[in-house]
Structure 1
Amino acid sequence: MCGRFVITLSPEVFREAFGYEDQPNFPPRYNVAPTQPVPIVVREQGRPRFKLVRWGFLPSWVKDPKDFPLVINARAETLLEKPTFKAATKRRRCVFLADGFYEWRREGRVKAPYFVRMASGGPMPMAGLWETYSDPVGGEIDTAAIVTTDANGTVAAIHHRMPVILGREGVARWLDVEGVSDVEARELTKPCPDAWLDMVPVSPRVNKVANDDPENIAPLREEAPAPETPRKTARGSATRSSDEDGQGSLL
């Protein structure tokens, strides 16, 4: 899963990477949490557009949000079957703006946090779904969830799931809801190549949402032993991924 991520690169870097004309100005975030406003990219009228949405997906058919669970992730394996995500997978795909995420490794009774980032130091395009929810009194809110898949060899050392991270070609195809079907889009939801990612242990201070500063992503001074990478992923495939998985090259 993905329950916390970071957006530390400048707005100009994201704007250039994703090619939208909008010029939003947003501050760096070192501990983005569910229900908070998050930036995404969508494709509207053939062009990429910037949107600010709530992280927590609400399908249009929900009658009372209080009776619906907080949905921050969407499993890639069931996108075409679950009523919550079927319509959005066809018509409202998006990419979350991020440059890394946190994941926790259970060590006895303690969970040790790790920061997973792009080895290139650039944006981490995480596949997502979005939806506009209209309440009974006419109010509207845009919401979104991150699509997750089996962990690749790097992340599998600490957790069995990870966000779907797209390459340049993958971003273009994922956002093209008119030219790329939901079935074709799901083919893009494979684990990204191991070489795309770096992973470092970080301070448990990230466990507290109020801590939102550069110290969160600083590697521990006394680094924990590197976790052993399993030979197989949850699907039983080899942990080492290649660029032949349909993701394409990095941004």
Structure 2
Amino acid sequence: MCGRYATTKSEADLGELFDAVAVAEAPAASWNVAPTDPVPLIRVSQRRDARVVDTARWGLVPPWATDLRAGARMINARAETVATSPAFASSFQRRRCLVPADGWYEWVRTGKQRQAYYMTAPGSVLAFAGIWTMWRGETMTCSVLTTAALGGLRAVHDRMPLILPRERWEPWLAGGGEPDELLRPLPEAALEAIEVRAVRPDVGNVRNNGPQLTTPEPAAEMEGTLF
């Protein structure tokens, strides 16, 4: 799963990168985004007939939920079932988005401790496949799609975000389309740009934030075993 990630670009930066109009101020840069936090996303606005940079609460809240707390359990949607899940299918068909990220975190247990890892493509912004909805017409919420981990990333976790390259942004945002094509994972060769970086355990505490969370640290028991 993807339960923590970093996203640090301003709405102006995101607008330029994704050729989108900012309709909401992006949340403050965060190197430790946690479930229910506000996050930036890119979606198509029918009213504007254009891509827009918007803000949503991370954790999709289905329309039947009685309160927003339900979203804490729905931060991820599995690519294998998103098209048929009662909670996600409607958004998958009509309300898809891109969730920009600098990188994401996972943990590997080493004996009695857990080693944190940060996956990133230095110098680039990753576009996670996402879906969104409006809860009771007033709160936008979203989920990040995950797929089976590929290549060396399997040594960190068996799941990873579904990352979309630039040429797949337009069909993803357009709505409709063939699920098999929309949900296909990146070729393993494309993952060579992703660096797997051991980092300090501080990211495990949601109160910690800042670029120091992504600084490489030695991982004594795992170093050199991921690839």
State whether TM-score is above 0.5. Answer: yes
Higher strand share: 2
Partner of residue 31, structure 1: 32
Q: How many residues align?
A: 221
Identity over aligned pairs, percent: 35
Alignment partner of 1:89: what SS? helix
In structure 1, stretches of 5+ residues that fail to align are: 230-251
Residue 43 (structure 1) aligns with: 44
Which ranges in structure 2 are unaligned for 5 or more consecutive residues?
A: none
1:202 and 2:205 matched:
no
Partner residue of 1:125? 127
Report which stretch shifted further, 145-154 or 39-48.
39-48
Evaluate the alpha carbon distance shift between residue 190 and residue 77 of structure 1 in structure 2; reply closer, same or farther with a 3 A threshold.
farther
**Pick aligned residue for 1:143 from 133, 141, 144:** 141
Mapped to 1, the partners of 2:100 and 2:70 lie a distance apart of: 29
**Structure 2 residue 78 is matched with structure 1 residue 80:** no
Distance 2:70 2:143 in 1: 18
Q: In the alignment, which residue of structure 1 is the partner of 2:166?
A: 168
Q: Which amino acid in structure 2 is aligned with residue 73 of structure 1?
A: N
1:177 aligns with 2:179: no
Tell me how far apart the structure 2 counterparts of residues 31 and 117 of structure 1 sit (CA, whole Å): 14
Kept in 2, the 8 Å contact 1:206–1:216? The answer is yes
How far residue 74 of structure 1 moved from its aligned partner, in angstroms, is: 0.3
* Preserved contact between residue 20 and residue 50 of structure 2 (Cα < 8 Å): yes
Q: CA deviation at 1:223?
A: 4.5
Task: Please state how far the C-alpha of 1:81 moved relative to its aligned partner.
Answer: 1.8
Looking at structure 1, the residues matched to 124 and 71 of structure 2 have their Cα atoms a distance apart, in angstroms, of 35
Using the alignment, how far apart are the partners of 1:214 and 1:93 within structure 2? 29
**Aligned residues: CA RMSD:** 2.1
Q: State the distance in 2 between where 1:205 and 1:21 align.
A: 35
The 1:10–1:53 alpha-carbon spacing in structure 2 relative to 1, beyond 3 Å, is closer
Structure 1 length-normalised TM:
0.80
Displacement after TM superposition at 1:65 (Å)? 4.7
Describe the SS at the equivalent of 1:215: helix
Contact between 1:151 and 1:191, CA under 8 Å: does it hold in 2? no
SS of match in other structure, 1:27: coil
> What is the CA distance between 1:68 and its match in structure 2?
7.3
SS of the residue 1:78 aligns to? coil
Measured at CA, do residues 61 and 191 of structure 1 come closer, stay the same or move farther in structure 2, by a change above 3 Å?
Answer: farther
SS at match of 1:156: helix
